[in-house]
Structure 1
Amino acid sequence: MHISRRNVLIEWGDCDPAGIVFYPRYFAWFDASTANHFASVGLLKPELIARYGVVGFPMVDTQGKFYTPSKFGDEVTIETTITGFGKSSFDVHHRLLRGDKLAVEGYEKRVLVKRADDGDGIKSVQVPEEIRTLFQR
């Protein structure tokens, strides 16, 4: 399966008074890493929207496992992969590494959506085979 990587430098504002990363920051980084993952196979979000008529891929479930804290000044690497597809959903796994040490794992379930036919809200759409293929290389 396709793995993308991106580096994050932990800034002062990412940390709590104890000097370690405030846990919601990990979820923001994972969200950006999912968008980066799509970009890594040539599907920048504007192109995804234009090509497939979708409005995005909101998160419907998330989880984090925290093994060791990170702090101001650390540079971490986030590895992202899609581990499975449902009809309209897909599962994303993130591994945040500090050096070669696993610090945090994140899990997301996301759903590909478009605007509802009545224009009020969103509804799920089937993940196109082309997208599945791009990530299963």
Structure 2
Amino acid sequence: MFSNVTRVEVQFGDCDPAGIVYYPNYFRFFDNATAALLSKAFQMHKRLWIEKHGILGIPMVDTGAQFFKPSRFGDEIEICSEIVELGRTSFGVRHTVFNGGEKAIEAHEKRVWVGRDPEVEGAIKPLPMPDDVRSVLGA
């Protein structure tokens, strides 16, 4: 299935008092890496593919991570992201973080393709992913 690599230079503000990346910041990195993965797949910026497909976004409904090696201010990490599951309205992403060539983290996300629910004001609902989207993500 489709994959992409995102490089992130760890900034001072990403770190906790111990000088290592504060774990919630990894989930921000993963969110950006998922957007980069889909932007590469669709060959357009996230703002444009959201508009093109008429969706509100791809909210996360499940996530988790295993941490093996810390990253510190100034480290450049690589986030290897790949689609690992395609459902009718959802998809799974695996992120593997490498620091200095060593696996530092393995994380997962489950995301849902959503739009407005016309029957309930202000509500969102899962939408079936279009065939062209499924084709690109499954490539």
Unaligned runs of 5+ in 1: none
Which residue of the partner structure matches residue 137 of structure 2?
135
Partners of 2:62 and 2:102 lie apart in 1 by 26
Deviations 1:2-36 (A, max 9, x none): 21011100011111111111000100000000000
> Cα offset for 1:136?
2.0
Which residue of the partner structure matches residue 99 of structure 2?
98
Partners of 1:22 and 1:67 lie apart in 2 by 14
Q: TM-score, normalised by structure 2?
A: 0.94
Deviations 1:18-69 (A, max 9, x none): 1111000100000000000011121422222222211100000100110111
Task: Confirm whether residue 119 of structure 1 aligns to residue 121 of structure 2.
Answer: yes
The 3 A distance-change label for structure 1 pair 119 and 44 is farther
> Cα offset for 1:119?
3.1
- Contact kept, 8 Å, 1:88 with 1:125, in 2: the verdict is yes
Please report the RMSD computed on the Cα atoms of aligned residues, expressed in angstroms: 1.1
Which residue of the partner structure matches residue 75 of structure 1?
76
DSSP-derived class of the 1:40 partner = helix
- Determine what percentage of the aligned residue pairs are the same residue: 40
Bigger mean CA offset, 37-46 vs 80-89: 37-46
Partners of 2:126 and 2:45 lie apart in 1 by 20
Which residue of the partner structure matches residue 56 of structure 1?
57
